[in-house]
Structures are given as structure tokens and as C-alpha cells.
Amino acid sequence: MNEMDIQTVTLERQGAVLVATVDNPPVNALSHSVRAGLVDAVEALESDPQAKALVIVCAGRTFIAGADIREFNKPLKEPRLGVLIERLDRCEKPVIAAMHGTALGGGLEIALACSYRVALESARFGLPEVKLGLLPGSGGIVRLPRLIGVEEALAMISQGNQVDAEHALETGLLDEVMADDLRAGALAFAERIVAEGGAIRRTSDLPVPTIEPGFLDAKRAEFAKKFKGLDAPQIAVDLVEMMSTTPFQEAAAREYATCKELIASPQSQALRHLFAAERAALKIDGVPAEVEPREIRTVAVAGPGVMGRGIAICFLNAGYPVVLLGKDEENLSKGVGGIRKILESGVKRGRMTQEAADEQMSHLTPTLDYADLGAVDLVVEAVTEDLATKKDVFARLDAALPDRAIIATNTSFLDIEALASSVTRPENVAGMHFFNPANVMKLLENVRAGRTAPDVLATITSVGKKIGKVPVMVGRSEGFVANRMLSKRSREAQFLLEDGATPQQIDKVLSGFGFPIGPFALADLAGMDVMAAARKARLAGMTPREQACDIVDKLAAAGRLGQKTGAGYYLYGDDRKPQPDPAVDELLAAHRAERGLPQREITDEEILERCLYAMVNEAAKIIDEGAAARPGDIDVIWTNGFGWPTHLGGPMFWANRIGLPNVKAALEKYSALVGEEYFRPANLIESLVAEGRGFYD
């Protein structure tokens, strides 16, 4: 057996088979050394007359999991991935890709260029480039349809989702699946191929399967709705159509050229920014990486209302036993029934089996007794948004819980320091702010109080990941980050109604920008009674104009509570589709007359700028105050919490691209128009502009 080190690729001989082992932790990314090492392995195979086949296998927990994202913004060193792919494709001896873990992106493209593909039954496969605004550029688009058919291939390319080994075997992506010992199984497979004559199978030589008439046009229409505003899925359809009628080498060259164009595109830059920002958000400012999270075995949720039910389901879905604490039997019974109803809905929709739903319900323990919390490691408080009520619950939890148990409040606006002061162990208090519906929304704003212990912060971040959320650490601030910024957008939307805009115009502008729903359609969905109650709770802290802008109160008083009553800002029929209502125009006209406000023509540009720049300005204040650690955290919060279009990178990335001098000029313009107290540029924006820098410089 000969062995030689080729940087991150080790090559050894087992009889007539060479084995190239990639070892580039943590995910065997396709760094330059890996690409060069694999090219050298192919050269060694062809130059060794005694070597009849090559097996490519990876050390560690996964097969090659894609490109090295650190190389995206740097000149690529040869050999590029395409050179490696071409070398594999024209190899004169069979090459077998042996896969475990995940084979993603460039890793899967390498496998597609091999003669054969084998994998462990636990392996998964995908082309996730589209999630970064990219598409495969090294043969994924021209090879995959030839192996598994156009429909299956387009689904993988345009959505970026993974498929399992069983599905991959059924569709023809894999030649064999193994239960265990991948290396031994791949060697045996290679030896069998050699014994049978060493046949070479080039995917590039396969014909393109027939595409049904109208299939691609139907996909374009589907993707226009499903991936609103995103370019890459539509370009994927174009490339698949091109591939079906173009000679292989020419099609491969056009695929690569398109990938290069997409790397430089604003959408890909924005999506790659978010990819990096989500990972950076897991690094907690001031908490060393070596701080170990506390062990969380059992969770309690205090408050079985709508939010509490959703939070409980998050933990049940992740396999945690949950104690549900209610204040009375009726309250608790409704909570348990609500949880069961949500799980049953998941069964009806095919998202889970009846057995899984029953299993989750068996892990739910309802109780009225705080004494039943003696073995709980984490409790999420989700009672009514009243400080006195929450402080009372906190004091009771403090008396009942073990010394190391964490108390996390789900409050949206209340002062977390006031809650922490109501317990004897304030170091155990933090915030875990879920968004409604809690079992659906991805964002989790974790909140640090002044005395929160570092391992508590590490724990709520770790737990957030385990329950499938995108956790972002924020600091003490009314409304934290998401709701504080949202309140400024809501303020301007209301002021714009006073100035002469209509609900439908404002909603159309903001949904046209890329939000999934406009603010007034959203208010009708939430309920005007809920909106009025939230406004009442914050009324004392509002400016005189905000206090006088009582359109929400007037709608609620008129019984126009939104979809639940068939009328709010809009009228609703049986189809629940919003329709403009002349009665709202009359209500707004009367409100303007009462307030002495003249109606004027409002442009779409003014709507967009006032609503969005108000948010960006508030975000700059949040960073300046230290309530958010970095601008990227705010981008992660808004793309995961309130539907800021991901292809625009989040409010801070978007503002940075516009240019902070332009943002500052617009803020000054609206300071003069609306009021300096609403649009005075934040100190951070002033200083960055003066220094010629942006949020990300």
C-alpha cells in the first residue's frame, strides 16, 4: 500500500483501487487544496497501470458539502471546480463517489461527474445554491436532468431542498446504498466494477429526457408566485430549457457563465450577506465561545393562551417534555385543547403522523400547581402583558424552581429589568421573545437583562437552535428590535392616512416592495381590538400627534375589527379577500376634518421612503444604544420575523446599498415635512456619513 499526502487529500492503494480521502474539516468544503488534490488523484489513477478505479471518500461527518464561501469574493486559484469536474468526466478509468452525511452543491456536482455514485442510507443530497441567489455552475444543471429526469432535477435546482438516499436511489442519482462501513462497501463496489471490465459511464453522454409540452411555462408561473422577487429560480428554468436543446459542452459553458453573473448580482450578495449574518448572530457579544450552555431536559410554559400554546408546541416538536402551567381549570383546558387542535391540523395536512402527534401529547403535562415545576430546567413565561401580573408569576416561579432553572419571559414591550428584580436569582432571568404564531415563525429574539449569567445567554441561544428557530440576542429596549422598528413603520403608515393616502395604496406599495402583506391587511388579520389594546397600553409614551391619530380606535369603536367581523380597513366576503370600502374613506375624511389636516396627493415614493427610512433610522439608534450587537443582527431579525424580502438583504444592508448620505438626505427632508421628532437622523447615521463610512465598513 502506497500513501502520499496531497494537502487535504490523501491517496492510497487497496489492490487495484485507489482511494482518495478528503479531510478538510469541518465540512470538507471545496477549498483550493481539495480541488488540486482531487485533480492530482485522477492524474495518479491514469498514470498508474496497476490502478483500475478510484474511490473518492471523505473523512469526518460529511461528504464534500459545497464550495468554500470564503473564496466567493476572491480571485479563484486554479484548478477551478469546473476544471476538476471536466477532469473527472473525461477520466479513462471509472471513478466512484462514496458519500455520507450531505453531498451538497459542488460536492454533488463532483459526484455527478463520476462514473458511479454510492452512499450510506443516512446520506442526503442537494444543490442549495439557489438559497444564496446562485445556481450550480459546474455541471449540476446539465448533468442532473440526464440522470434523474427534468422534473426531479428542476425541483432540486430551483428550491435547493435535499433528498434522502432512498429517493436518490429510486430516481437514479445513486447506484447503490449501504447500511454501514461506507469505505469497505465502496471498495467492494469498485472491485466489482473492475472485475466486470471497468466500464466508464459518463453522465455527459446520456440523452436529455423528454420535457412535456407546457411543463416549463407552468413552472415559470408557479415560481413567480412561490419565489416572488427572486431571480435565480426563474433563471433555473431558462437554463434547463437551454440545456435540453444545446450540445453538452456549450450548455455547460453557458451554465458556468450564468453562475459567474449571479455571483456578482445584488440579489446573491444580499442572500450571502444574510447567510453570514445568521451565523454571526449566534456569536453572543461578551460571551466567550467556551461558555457551556446549561443542560435543558424539561421545559415549562407558564400561560396556556395563544402564544403559550405555540411556544409549547415548539418544544414538543423538538422532543422536550413540557409542563403547561395555567391559572385555572378552564384556562388550562382550553390551552391543552388548543395544542391538540394544532397538532391534529398538522396530521390532516400530512406534516406529521397521528402516532407522532399522540407521542407529543403524551409529553405534555398540564398543571395548576407551581409545585409541579420542581424538576424544570427552563420556563417560558407567556401570561398577559401586564407588569404586575408578570411580576407575581415570576415571584411564584422563583419560589418553585430549582436554583439553576432559567426563567425566560416572552414579553414584547415590558421592562425585563423590572421582571428580573422580582426574583432572588436575577442572573437566571432572560427574555425569549417568540412571534405569533410561535410554532410557525422562525425568529426568536433572545433578550439579555443587566445581570443575566453568560451561560444563561448561551443556553437560550442553543435551545433556540434546537427548536428550529433563528435566535438573535438583543438588549433591553422597549419593543426590543423587531417591534420597536415596526412601531415606526406603523406610525408613518397611520400618519400617511392622515395626510391623504389610502390603506390600499400603502399596502400596495409595501407589498410591491416585497413584504408578504401590507400593514393594514395585516392589522385586519390580527384584529382591530388587539391593535387598539396595544395602542392603549403604549398611549402614555406617545407624542401628541401619535395620541391624536386614533384611527385604530375609531375603527374598533365602529365594530370594524377586521376579518373576524368582515370589515376593518377593508371589506371581506366569504373568500376573505380584502376589498376597498368607501366607509373607510369617509371615516378618514372625517378624521382629517376633525384634526384640521388637509388632504394632499401622496406619491408611492413618499410612502416607501417614510415607512422604510423611519425603520432604518430607529435601527441605527438601536445599534447606537447597544440594544443590538451588529447591523447584520437587525437584518436577520427583519427577514425572519416580519418578511423583509431576503433578496434585499434586510433593512441595514438595503440602506447601505442605497448609501447613507442618501438616507440622511431623505431623513432631513421628512424631518421638515413630518416633524424633526420623527425623522431627525440618528447620531450613528450622522457620524458614519461624516466619516464616509457605511453600516458595514
For residues 443 and 474, give the distance between their C-alpha atoms in angstroms, rounded to a whole number: 12
The answer, yes or no, to whether residue 430 has pLDDT greater than 60, is yes
φ and ψ of 50, to 5 deg: -90, -15
Q: What's residue 476's pLDDT?
A: 87
How many percent of the chain have pLDDT more than 70? 99
Say if CB 429 and CB 419 are below 8 A apart.
Answer: yes
CATH T-level topology, domain 299-474: Rossmann fold (3.40.50)
424 in helix, strand or coil?
A: coil
Q: What is the CATH number of domain 605-691?
A: 1.10.1040.10
Q: Which tens digits make up the pLDDT trace of 109-136? A: 999 999 999 999 999 999 999 999 999 9
Cell, residue 342: 394544532
Q: What's residue 66's pLDDT?
A: 81
The dihedral region occupied by 490, where left means phi > 0, alpha psi between -120 and 50, and beta the remainder, is alpha
Q: What's residue 5's pLDDT?
A: 41
Find cell 456536482 and name the residue: 109
- Overall CATH class of domain 501-505+515-599: mainly alpha
Q: Which residues contact 392 (CB under 8 A, 6 or more apart)?
A: none
For residues 105 and 463, give the distance between their C-alpha atoms in angstroms, rounded to a whole number: 29
CA 344 to chain centre: 26
Over residues 351-363, the mean pLDDT reads: 96
Q: Is the pTM of this model over 0.85?
A: yes
Task: Verify whether residue 212 is a known catalytic residue.
Answer: no
Measured at the CA of 117, the angle between CA 112 and CA 119, to 5 degrees, comes to: 125
For residues 210 and 151, give the distance between their C-alpha atoms in angstroms, rounded to a whole number: 10
Q: Catalytic one among 43, 71, 129, 191?
A: 129
DSSP, residue by residue, 481-521: THHHHHHHHHHHHHHHHHHT--HHHHHHHHHHHT-SS-HHH
Q: What's residue 72's pLDDT?
A: 63
Q: What count of Cα atoms within 13 Å lies in the side-chain half-sphere of residue 389?
A: 12
Residue 16, Cβ neighbours under 10 Å: how many?
16
For residues 136 and 131, give the distance between their C-alpha atoms in angstroms, rounded to a whole number: 11
The lowest-confidence range among 73-77, 363-367, 522-526 is: 73-77
DSSP, residue by residue, 409-422: E--SSS-HHHHHTT
Cα–Cα distances (Å) from 198 to 14, 52, 86, 93, 177, in that order, read 16, 7, 20, 7, 20
Asked whether the CA dihedral 653, 657, 661, 667 is positive or negative, the reply is negative
Q: Is 256 exposed, middle or buried (0-12, 13-18, 19+ CB in 10 A)?
A: buried
CATH T-level topology, domain 3-263: 2-enoyl-CoA Hydratase; Chain A, domain 1 (3.90.226)
The answer, yes or no, to whether residue 597 has pLDDT greater than 60, is yes
Find cell 406599495 and name the residue: 509
The H or E element containing residue 344 is helix 329-348
The answer, yes or no, to whether residue 2 has pLDDT greater than 90, is no
Please, what is the average pLDDT of the chain? 95
For residues 112 and 110, give the distance between their C-alpha atoms in angstroms, rounded to a whole number: 5
Residue 225, Cβ neighbours under 10 Å: how many?
7
Q: Catalytic one among 109, 152, 255, 606?
A: 109
φ and ψ of 66, to 5 deg: 120, -175
The H or E element containing residue 616 is helix 604-625
For residues 405 and 302, give the distance between their C-alpha atoms in angstroms, rounded to a whole number: 14
Q: Band of the pLDDT at 68, cuts 50, 70, 90?
A: confident
Say if CB 93 and CB 202 are below 8 A apart.
Answer: no
Find cell 388632504 and name the residue: 599
Say if CB 367 and CB 323 are below 8 A apart.
Answer: yes
Cell, residue 357: 402527534
Q: Which tens digits make up the pLDDT trace of 290-337? A: 999 999 999 999 999 999 999 999 999 999 999 999 999 999 999 999
DSSP bridge pairs for 118: 98, 176
DSSP, residue by residue, 662-678: HHHHHHHHHHHHT-HHH
Range(s) of the chain covered by CATH 1.10.1040.10 = 605-691
Over residues 421-449, the mean pLDDT reads: 96
Q: What's residue 73's pLDDT?
A: 64
Range(s) of the chain covered by CATH 3.40.50.720 = 299-474
For residues 361 and 695, give the distance between their C-alpha atoms in angstroms, rounded to a whole number: 47
Say if CB 57 and CB 188 are below 8 A apart.
Answer: no
Q: Which residues contact 120 (CB under 8 A, 6 or more apart)?
A: 99, 100, 165, 177, 178, 179, 180, 182
Cα–Cα distances (Å) from 306 to 383, 439, 566, in that order, read 10, 10, 22
Residue 692 identity (one-letter amino acid): G
Say if CB 602 and CB 496 are below 8 A apart.
Answer: yes
Q: What's residue 65's pLDDT?
A: 87
Q: Which of 207, 253, 208, 235 is nearest to 85 (CA)?
A: 253
Residue 309 identity (one-letter amino acid): R
Strands 470-474 and 443-448: parallel
Q: Which tens digits make up the pLDDT trace of 37-60? A: 999 999 999 999 999 999 999 999
Asked whether the CA dihedral 146, 152, 156, 157 is positive or negative, the reply is positive
Q: What's residue 67's pLDDT?
A: 76
Q: What's residue 292's pLDDT?
A: 97
For residues 433 and 478, give the distance between their C-alpha atoms in angstroms, rounded to a whole number: 12
Task: Verify whether residue 109 is a known catalytic residue.
Answer: yes
Say if CB 166 and CB 121 are below 8 A apart.
Answer: yes
For residues 490 and 245, give the distance between their C-alpha atoms in angstroms, rounded to a whole number: 51
The lowest-confidence range among 40-44, 229-233, 474-478, 486-490 is: 474-478
For residues 87 and 109, give the distance between their C-alpha atoms in angstroms, rounded to a whole number: 13
For residues 409 and 426, give the distance between their C-alpha atoms in angstroms, rounded to a whole number: 12
The answer, yes or no, to whether residue 214 has pLDDT greater than 60, is yes
Range(s) of the chain covered by CATH 1.10.1040.50 = 501-505+515-599
The answer, yes or no, to whether residue 248 has pLDDT greater than 90, is yes
Strands 322-325 and 299-302: parallel
Q: What's residue 7's pLDDT?
A: 77
The answer, yes or no, to whether residue 394 has pLDDT greater than 90, is yes
The answer, yes or no, to whether residue 74 has pLDDT greater than 90, is no
Per DSSP, 294 falls in state P
DSSP bridge pairs for 581: none
